[in-house]
Each structure stands twice: as C-alpha cells, then as structure tokens.
Amino acid sequence: MTEKTLWRIPKLPRAEWTDDSREVCAFWGEPNAWEEGSQTNIIMVMANNPDLGKASNAWGKHMLVTNTTPLRCRELIILRIGWLLKSEYEWHNHVGYALNLGMSLEEIAATKEGASAPNWNEEDRAVLGAVDELLETNDLSDAAWAALTKFYDRKQVMDVVFTIGHYVMTAWAIAAFRMPIEEHADQIGWDLKTKSGKVPTATLKPGEADDWADKRGYDN
C-alpha cells in the first residue's frame, strides 16, 4: 500500500466532529475518545459516516466479543484472510491478538500456507480450508461443511461463515479507502518482524480488559 496515495477517506477532521461522530469514537471505551477522538485509524475513518460507524461498531462488537466462534479459530480465519487479501492492517493487529491467545509465531506464519501446512490439527484444517473454499468458490462443499460441523454447533458454524465474510469486507474497505496502519504503531510485516526489527508481542483487542488501550501495541 505504500506506493499508493493514502487516505481516500481521511480521519474525520475535528471541525466536522458532531455528537454522533464522537459516539463512534467513544464506543469501545477508549480513554478520552469523546473529547480527543480515537487513536485507531479505522474508527476515525468510520466517524465520517456516523450511522454506518455506529452500526459497524455494534456488528464489530459481536465479531470481537460475543462471537461464538472459538478464539483460536477466529484468529486463524482473520490471519488467513489478511494474508490472502494482503491486508497489512488486519495482519498487523491480529498477529498481536493471536500471540495473546498463546499461538506461536510458527503457527502464525503457517497461516500463510493455509490448511496444507504441516502440524495443524483437524479442527484448524477445517477452519483454514473453509476460508479458502469460500473465497475461491463463494460456497462451502458438503465435505467442508461436514469438517466444520464435526467441531462446531449450529450457532458456531453460522458465526464462522459470517466472520469470514466480515473480515473480507473489512479488508476491502481498508484497501479501497487507502487507510494506512497507525503512524504510532510499530508495524508487523509479513515476515513477522516489526518495522523497528523487534519480535512482535501480544496485544489486546478493544474492550478485552480495562487497560486494553495501554496494551494494544501503540507507542502512546
């Protein structure tokens, strides 16, 4: 994305802030977000369209918090989508989230190879295979469906499919809006090294803990 013009949709300028846009910024409980805006680029971009932003926040909370998809499964889905769609923003954020779950850097790297990588268990393969099949065929075969339903109940399978679709949609929006990674983040590359050369560390998702904003990987 570095060779492209950035910010087709800008972070909402302060002169255009309204109570509705501030509500978008403050939804996740980020300290001072109502007064100062969010430090998260995607939130500040979505504040340009408060009705969409508020709906996106509510939907995003389900994806991140109340989603019945197991957490490991969820991160496998998002990392695989990040790689396939070359979404640097999704990759950067979800490497830290996956590490927080106890996934190893080797496992994270293997999501680039997908279900064919060695050492995945049967559940992991079912999940990664479902991502690829949906993106390639816009459907799930009976075999892929059976592989998922071996591990997940009706609610969980529904969440798996919608999680895949949600993060594809999010990757599209990030790319089309030309939204970069936060300037105060030490970007995690595809090689799983940060821009400064550090080994990535665990980070927290919005709302995951009271101090999540201090542990999201930004140099505040």
> Model's pTM, two decimal places?
0.94
- Which CA distances in Å does 165 have to 66, 189, 201? 16, 24, 27
Per-residue pLDDT of the chain (220 residues; tens, 9 = 90+): 446 789 999 999 999 999 999 999 999 999 999 999 999 999 999 999 999 999 999 999 999 999 999 999 999 999 999 999 999 999 999 999 999 999 999 999 999 999 999 999 999 999 999 999 999 999 999 999 999 999 999 999 999 999 999 999 999 999 999 999 999 999 999 999 999 999 999 999 887 777 777 767 765 4
- Which CA distances in Å does 129 have to 25, 79, 120, 148, 190? 35, 13, 11, 9, 21
Residue 41 resides in a domain = yes
Residue 182 resides in a domain = no
Q: Which amino acid, 4?
A: K
| CATH code for position 154 | 1.20.1290.10
> Do residues 96 and 152 both lie within one domain?
yes
- Which CA distances in Å does 89 have to 26, 72, 115, 117? 21, 19, 22, 24
Structure tokens at 75: 């991160």
Whether 147 contacts 129, CB under 8 Å? yes
Which structural domain, as residue segments, surrounds residue 40?
A: 15-65
Half-sphere exposure of 195 (CA within 13 A, CB side): 11
> Do residues 51 and 106 both lie within one domain?
no
Q: What domain count does the chain have?
A: 2
Residue 189 resides in a domain = no
Distance of CA 52 to the CA centre of its chain: 18
Of 42, 65, 88, the residue at which a domain comes to its end is 65
> Do residues 102 and 125 both lie within one domain?
yes
